[in-house]
Amino acid sequence: MSLSVQNLTIKSKQSTLLQAMSFDVENGDILSIMGPSGCGKSTLLSAVAGHLSPEFSCQGDIRVNDKSILALPAEKRAVGILFQDDLLFPHLSVWQNLAFGLPDTMSATEKKERALATLEEIELGDIAYKAPDQISGGQRARISLMRTLLSHPKVILLDEPFSKLDKPLRKSFRAFVFKQIKNRNIAAVMVTHDEDDVPVESTLLNWPVAPENAPSTSSPRVGFLRPEQKHA
């Protein structure tokens, strides 16, 4: 079990955003959370990544490979995030953007070699020396994902990463993202408001969970998410 959220409660001074939520995500699997904008999906991702705003308090536990990360700063959690914006550095070339995600233990030469090799792997070697504004939106999206993966995250969070792409590009990029996650055996949590984004075989959690739809049980884990609830 790579990611385990246990009885997680998130509160602000005004309200409770999340109450005793529990779920597990295996390596190579994707938990898809679908709900309308403003319902707190991204706040959950912020809590897992360690970027929760000081206005919120967090109780419960978040564990990666059976070790609690709740008290760790964001940079120590080994959690990657892919946003709807590609967030590439405009002053760096494509290969330099990729190299930015590599660990500092590597030399500059090693970083460049690894970045160039990665571009060849995804058949984008010809854009290595171009600036982000010289490549297509689909190419930028792929570079952004690969930069995140090169940091070797144990968990990856997808915050509506397809929402700004046009329909044909959206479909191909979705397939690319899910293939990369599966191949690297990384646990992933994706939030979206579009059912088309949910991969087949993904566990799907509709957010917020209506109390009348939750089974009667003393276990919040079962009440919020049942393993048999699959999207197919």
Structural domains of the chain, ranges and CATH numbers in brackets: 3-89+152-224 (3.40.50.300)
pLDDT at 201: 76
Distance of alpha carbon 209 from the chain centroid:
21
pLDDT at 199: 85
SS3 category, 20: strand
pLDDT at 95: 97
- CA gap 167, 94 in Å, rounded: 24
pLDDT at 178: 92
- Per-residue pLDDT of the chain (232 residues), as tens digits, is 589 999 999 998 888 888 888 999 999 999 998 877 777 788 899 999 999 988 888 999 999 999 999 999 999 999 999 988 888 999 999 999 999 989 889 999 999 999 999 999 999 999 999 999 999 988 999 999 999 999 999 999 999 888 888 888 888 898 899 999 999 999 999 998 888 888 887 888 877 654 444 433 333 333 333 333 444 4
Closest CA to 23 of 228, 229, 225: 225
| DSSP codes, 211-231 | GGGS-S-S-HHHHH--TT-B-
- CA gap 86, 25 in Å, rounded: 25
Closest CA to 117 of 139, 146, 137: 146
Tell whether pTM > 0.75. yes
pLDDT at 130: 98
Residues with Cβ < 8 Å from 10, sequence gap 6 or more?
16, 17, 18, 40, 43, 44, 47, 52, 56, 57, 58, 59
- CA gap 118, 213 in Å, rounded: 45
SS3 category, 31: strand
In contact, 213 and 182? CB cutoff 8 Å = no
- CA gap 154, 165 in Å, rounded: 26
